[in-house]
Amino acid sequence: MKRVLLPLLLLALPASTAALAAAADEAQNPLESFLEEARTSYVLEAREKEIVNRHDNGAFLFENEYRYEMTKTRNASLEEAAFGETSTASHVVRDEQGRPAQEYLSYDNKVSTYALSNTSYDIDYGNPFVYVAPSDFTEIEEGVYKLDDLKAYEFAYRLLRLDYPLKDVLFNFEDGTFKNMTISTPAFEGVTQDQYTYEYMLIDYSYETEVRLSELGTAVVEGVKTAESRDPEHEEALRAALTSLPDNFTVVISEHDRDYEANHEYDAYMYYDGEAIFHQLTLGSLTSGLYYCEEEERPDGKLYLQDYDADAGKWVHYDAISSRSYNADPKTYDDLLPRFKDVAPELFTYDAENDIYVCDNLDALGFMGNPLSPGTRHITYFTEGQTDKATIKLKSDGRIDTVTVGYSYEDSLGYLLSRDIDYRYINLGTTAMPDGFVGRQ
């Protein structure tokens, strides 16, 4: 591997070596300062051309063009790739533990992150320029630097997710200033279908990509912004309702397809009498469902899930026999009850026509589902940021009446279906466990 001649005396001098070049390395300077800036942040625009020729006579057949727009900083990556009318975009941030995460606005109006995996952000989203150094380049003609073959793939993959063998990765400088990068491939053999005869024929195809960079070292990725007050009068009304839920209420839970009336025969009732929570799943049943209460044996202020032991005729501690069991990680009252008092009214807008408050903040909506639901009813769609509806209706006396949260999903035939869950609050302050219910003493 030929290295550019570098009698650089880095030994006794600081790392920023722009001033150190000996006469022979004037060529190296543009790369060093360029890399230093690019390693901090950049905005990228690129065009990738897929050029297809006939194999038998080399005649040009057609070309496809892919467009890329990206912004990369130390802690965030915005990637957008487009082909024709379709495009995909992703916005990933590096959370405090170094994992790739989604940024969002939490129910209490704080910028938060949701980890997308337990793997390293840097491994998948790390800045490509961090992984190359001036010594990896050879100046093949004035101002044109070729990246070593052994570094080319990883660089191009990090830069643009290019995933094929490469021929040349060239950094082009003009008068010491970065102009663009070009990435080329050898020819690959393939097969395509003739659009007229429908017969298959051999083709040779290759890729040529041009990359332009801007805002070197200064690019920023706009983060999620906290919500501001827009309608103080209604926000106050909502705040009053959210903070006045007593430590005693009943919730009637109805689940239904969006825009369809619920079948109330399937309603579930959740009773909270200030001490224990009984989440009845079958109407009328006093011995099935989820019953949470404090336990004398475990005096830590947490509520433990009980299971009804029919033989013994009583509720007993439900052993956490799976890592997903509730009792493996028991919750406090705050976690099991809806988090109304901390919900930020600024995330909602008042719909006068329907007299209802609607969460219209798209940075927050995805993760509103669980905080607005009792902790006994957190669902995976909501945990993963898939909430797509959150509304609050107040009673005429200004207290909470019905909270509705919902999500959408694709069924097995590819149709988009939406499910909503209505939580209607009744018997505020007057709730007692249902007649005949015997809890743990």
Between 63 and 174, whose beta carbon lies closer to other proteins?
63
Report the DSSP pairing between strands 42-54 and 60-73: antiparallel
Between 152 and 253, whose beta carbon lies closer to other proteins?
152
Between 97 and 218, whose beta carbon lies closer to other proteins?
97
Q: Which long-range contacts (CB under 8 A, 24 or more apart) does 58-64 make?
A: 58/204, 61/192, 61/203
Tokens (6 digits) for 117: 């995996």
Between 75 and 404, whose beta carbon lies closer to other proteins?
75
What is the spatial distance between Cα 18 and Cα 158, in angstroms, rounded to a whole number?
Answer: 26
CA-CA-CA-CA dihedral for 393, 396, 397, 403, to nearest 10 = -10
Instruction: Find out whether 362 and 347 touch, Cβ atoms under 8 Å.
Output: no
What is the spatial distance between Cα 116 and Cα 127, in angstroms, rounded to a whole number?
Answer: 19
Between 10 and 240, whose beta carbon lies closer to other proteins?
10
Chain residues binding other proteins by CB under 8 A are 10-15, 50, 52, 64, 66, 74, 81, 83-84, 97-99, 114-115, 118-123, 126-127, 130-131, 133, 135, 149-154, 157, 161, 163, 165-166, 186, 188-193, 198-203, 205, 319-325, 327-329
Between 36 and 255, whose beta carbon lies closer to other proteins?
36
Query: Minimum distance from CB of 36 to other proteins (Å)?
Result: 10
Name the 3-class secondary structure at 260: coil
Between 123 and 283, whose beta carbon lies closer to other proteins?
123
Between 177 and 332, whose beta carbon lies closer to other proteins?
332
- Spatial strand order of the sheet with 304-309 comes to 314-317, 304-309, 290-293, 277-280, 268-272, 249-257, 416-426, 400-410, 387-394, 356-359, 348-351
Residue with tokens 């825009």: 259
Q: How far is CA 72 from CA 48, 94, 107, 151, 387, in A?
A: 19, 11, 28, 20, 28
Between 220 and 438, whose beta carbon lies closer to other proteins?
220
Query: Minimum distance from CB of 86 to other proteins (Å)?
Result: 8
Measure CA 76 to chain center. 12
What is the spatial distance between Cα 3 and Cα 5, in angstroms, rounded to a whole number?
Answer: 6
Between 1 and 23, whose beta carbon lies closer to other proteins?
1
Query: Minimum distance from CB of 423 to other proteins (Å)?
Result: 25
Tokens (6 digits) for 342: 């901390």
At residue 147, φ and ψ (nearest 5 deg) are -80, 140
As a 3-state breakdown, the chain gives helix, strand, coil percent values, each rounded to 5, of 20, 40, 40
Between 120 and 244, whose beta carbon lies closer to other proteins?
120
Please count the residues of the chain: 441
Name the 3-class secondary structure at 252: strand
Instruction: Find out whether 419 and 427 touch, Cβ atoms under 8 Å.
Output: no
**DSSP per-residue codes, 201-221:** EEEEEEEEEEEEEESTTT---
